[in-house]
Amino acid sequence: MTQLPPLSAVKLGLVIDLDTCVGCHACVVSCKGWNTENYGAPLSDQDAYGANPSGTFLNRVHSYEVQPAEGHAQLVHFPKSCLHCEDAPCVTVCPTGASYKRVEDGIVLVNESDCIGCGLCAWACPYGAREMDVAEKVMKKCTLCVDRIYNDNLPEEDRVPACVRTCPAGARHFGDLGDPESDVSQLVAERGGFDLMPEQGTKPVNKYLPPRPRDRSEDVDILAPYLAPVTDQPKGFVGWLDKALSALPGGK
């Protein structure tokens, strides 16, 4: 059903720390690796080794430059995947009921055998979180690794989304954002986590933590005093050398 379910108490989602992300794209690779061979149709590539490669990804990392009025520009790496919105416009526009939000944990999923590939859900998503797979012609999106997080066959430490498990910087956190006492909720409260495009009214579950302000300090250079010129008017041997070199063609 594409009617949104009543708000669930459990809101599983991600918290992404823009201060910590180093832009290595490991989450992109591990996401593609896990999701191409597990839930649903594989994530196909077209012309992967050719001149114009293109493919389906559920998670992508942008990089932005923030230039303050004064001082150096700051580079921010910005991973983006489905935000599992509370008021998900991609769910309500779906004509077939393929797109749905789970009652029990709020994960937004696509039932691929019902998807007619009309693409309207991707049109309705402001974040570009959904991509139509060119080979399978069905809509693909982040599943929050629903096939990992409840998977008893995996060791307990692996029961988190692949992107979170792989992040070498610890920039990605997974948990229940519906529980104010959870680690992720505490982190959001502590660091001033925010929503993307709040004006679109989607009420995203995933939160982003802002980059911390950079330290500012006076320029300190302990060698500079020793390198300052000692005189403008050299005398003795140095004075003679200066004059002799200046007399050469092009010396002045």
**Residue numbers of the site for other proteins (CB under 8 A)?**
1-3, 18, 25, 28, 52-57, 60-69, 73-76, 78, 80, 89, 92-98, 114-120, 122-128, 131-132, 134, 136-138, 194-201, 208, 210-211, 213
Closest approach of other proteins to the CB of residue 149, in Å: 24
Q: How far is the CB of 177 from other proteins (least distance, A)?
A: 16
Residue 104 CB neighbour total at 10 angstroms: 10
Chain CA centroid to CA 75, Å: 13
Residue 94 φ/ψ, nearest 5 degrees: -65, 125
Smaller CB distance to other proteins: residue 113 or 233? 113
Q: By the 8 A CB rule, do 63 and 57 touch?
A: no
Contact (Cβ atoms closer than 8 angstroms) between residue 38 and residue 140: no
- Give the DSSP letter of residue 194: B
Q: Which is nearer to other proteins, 32 or 148 (CB)?
A: 32
Smallest distance from other proteins to CB 139, Å: 8
How far apart CA 116 and CA 103 sit, in angstroms, is 23
User: CB-wise, 127 or 242, nearer to other proteins?
Assistant: 127
Name the pairing type of β-strands 207-209 and 12-17. parallel
Q: Report how far residue 195's alpha carbon sits from residue 198's, in angstroms, rounded to the nearest whole number.
A: 6
Q: Which is nearer to other proteins, 34 or 208 (CB)?
A: 208
Question: Please, what is the minimum distance in Å from the beta carbon of residue 120 to other proteins?
Answer: 6
- State the nearest-atom distance from the C-beta of 221 to other proteins, in Å: 26
Of 216 and 235, which has the nearer Cβ to other proteins? 216
Closest distance of CB 220 from other proteins, Å? 24
Give the E-state strand segments of 105-163 in sequence order.
Answer: 108-110, 131-132, 139-140
Classify strands 172-176 and 54-55 as parallel, antiparallel or unpaired: unpaired
Nearer to other proteins, 122 or 154 (CB): 122
